[in-house]
Structure 1
Amino acid sequence: MKEQNETEKEPILHKEDAPPILPIRYIIVFMCFIAVTLNYATRMNLSVALLAMVPKDGMNLSTSNISTTSDTRHLHIKQAVRVRVSGLVYPAVFNLVTNWSKLSERSTFISISASGFGFGPVIASYLSALLCSTDFLGGWPSTFYLFGVLGLIWCIGWCIVGSNQVTSNRWISTIEKDSILCSQKTDEFKSINVRQYKVPWKQIGKSPVVWTLCVCNIAFNFGFFLLLTNVPIFFKTILRFELKMTGLLSTLPHFVFFIVMLFGGVLADALIFHKILSAISTRKLLAFCALGISPIFLVSIGYVANKELAVVILMIVVFGMTALYIPSVEANVLDISPNHSGLIIGLMSSTSHVCGFIAPEIVGILTRSGNTIYQWRKIFWIAASLQVFGLVCFLIFGTSEVQEWTGDDNTDTELNEGKRNEYRLLSHNSK
């Protein structure tokens, strides 16, 4: 029986002492990337499908006015449920990346996983527009069948190879597992036994640093969801592009968003670890690009709408600059509390994802009297103002210092205090 138990613990793909041909952590981070991709692809395909469902003349963009048919009404109900459930994806991915990455790989893995933000809308814009232009499976319904099937395939794959912890994965080699665990032990905070502290809910709820991140996320998500759901509508109704052209052009800004996000994490790490800038200076510099410069280009779109090429270029610049939000504000979560990063990301997401409902409704209210460029100028000004407000909050209150409540449950034991001081010293020296 003992020999059988030991055999069951051996890795499936590798011999116990053999180096891995393909490290399992690479597969895990790829699965995280696909999860985020599908999550945001299913948001984008609704926008394209609505263009194929509603009447072309006199289209009003408010959620309440679009939902005039049985199909669109049921679709919005299902979308509301899906958005609430999908809000769990990103915090889960953040925790998985923290558990599965070496310290030297963490920023890169987070950037790769989060880049699904941009890649999901890229494939959804093009494929949804293509399918909506055909009679395959009824036209627009086929877009939901496609991404629904892909989601089921992902779930099957995750059940086979995925796990929350390195130690519970059946496919990982002993060499890779030891390598990850040894790397994480150099993180002085993670070396504290998690059973020695509880989640400091009260301290997190009262932390001005955490609420600053929440305000920034609300500002970012309002603009992001506004563009995510309305770029195809803007191209179709204001620039008068055909549906196929709308889908194709909608992919370009998201593709740039995807590329910039991938390299943004690498840039942030280079600036910090080569001591070109301190950690907080790096975060605030990139945040200034994401929430300070991009609003200028966003507002400019409303004043050059008669020049299609200029609008497309400005939209691409807006998305590219906005992508730097991930390696700045969201990466700052790991700076202030590596132990509770998933929890804080979840709090940030839950307070900001309401923008997914508010942004389209504001668009509908402002375009109720007519879908013209003058209404869109107001929309862009609102989004830009919120982003600048979020930036100001982060520039004033943002910090990269590890918070006092990160490592313990309000019991200031000598062990936890010592670990906290060591980690703070390491963090200070890396700036």
Structure 2
Amino acid sequence: MRPFFRLLALLFFCTTATELLAQQLRTIDHIYDPKVQTVLLFPLVGSNPNDPALTLNPPVISLDEQVSLQLEFDDLTANYRSFRARLIHCNADWQRSILNDIEFTYEYNDNPITEYQTSINTKIQYFHYRFTLPRVKLPGNYLIVVYDERNRNNIIFTRRFSTYQNRLNVAADVRFSTNPAYQFNSQQVDLSINYRGYQVISPQDDFKVVIRQNYRDDRVLRDLRPTSVQAFDQTLEYRLIDMTNTLPGGNEFRFFDTRTVLSRANYIERIDRPADRNIAYVQEDKPRSRGVYIQSDDFNGMFVIDHRETGNGATNADYIETIFTLKIPEIPNVELFVNGAFNFWQLNDVNKMAYDPLLNAYRASVLLKQGVYNYDYMVQTTGSQPKVDENYIEGSYSSTENDYEVFVYHRPPASRADQLVAYKRVGVNKRK
């Protein structure tokens, strides 16, 4: 590249980075444009890239394997728009790192999203976009930022993902809490890290361990300290008794099936079909916080997009106005939400419920693409310091089947950012 064009490219990089930074971009999963829906980011594993179950895998991939991350989303303006994508590197706490683009990318860090399709035979028209993320150099946390090509300040959405290289050996086990007061409602994660052959100065201080439940960023344990350091064996053990490695077990998620609108599928009470849209009423729910644990299969809060008649959920699945009903007397000084991965586990106006005195129940209407969804109900107190309680409606049991991930971060000597040097997935109470 000639010096003049190299200078232009550098200036473009700096301008784009300045624009994004000036907005004080939040490094979270979030959709800023209400006309964009169903943002999916998942690894392309297996032989069938169109398998709807692929979206049940978290966007965490190994740099040592030839696996790519696929981004898909819908634009409900029903007009073609030009989008571009940019990657941002983050530290273990998901704060933006000081790395320059060239330090973690192989290519020019500004990618056009050119692959798209229009919806087919749907009442609500949309454009379906796809984009395969470029590979990165370093293991760690990243944020993909999608923005309008015509206005770089117009950010459409952001999604988190992680890449790792297993340079350490992690062993993890999940069981009921060893604290007698919590043994029937909480789960404890014990783990050990073997760092033999890995260069580290102060292992008890330098490793940052993060534990995540069911791929949810609102169910995370941080700042864990090892209970013992075995210098000869080069092993750290985390067998804590102070509850810092304990999370509520929760309950199995509720679910419903809207893959077809020609008949009522699982947990759908009725379907209305006006000319402009379809309306699905999920069967009336009741609290589950009292009573015994009931075993059932679920997606641990996730969802899949699918269309039963064609098997092509990407462009044949329609958007349905989905009505949730929770039969419970009005609760003072709280707000209720129907929640799940479909809203990134965030509590906002999209999934907020309103009390209907005629029904003596709370109701919410959420626009969702056809598929199979997991969900539950969450309570948030009102006031200056709101508190969230998922167990108030759903209950919590140590027998619940859950997935856990262990992330181990380290900043190598002379490095300027945290790297993800070990990743481990472990399940508890799995069905055979």
Q: Shorter chain as normaliser: what TM range? A: under 0.3
> TM-score, length-normalised on structure 1?
0.27
- Which structure has more relative contact order (CA 8 Å, sep 6+)? It is 1
Greater fraction of residues in helix? 1
Structure with higher strand content:
2
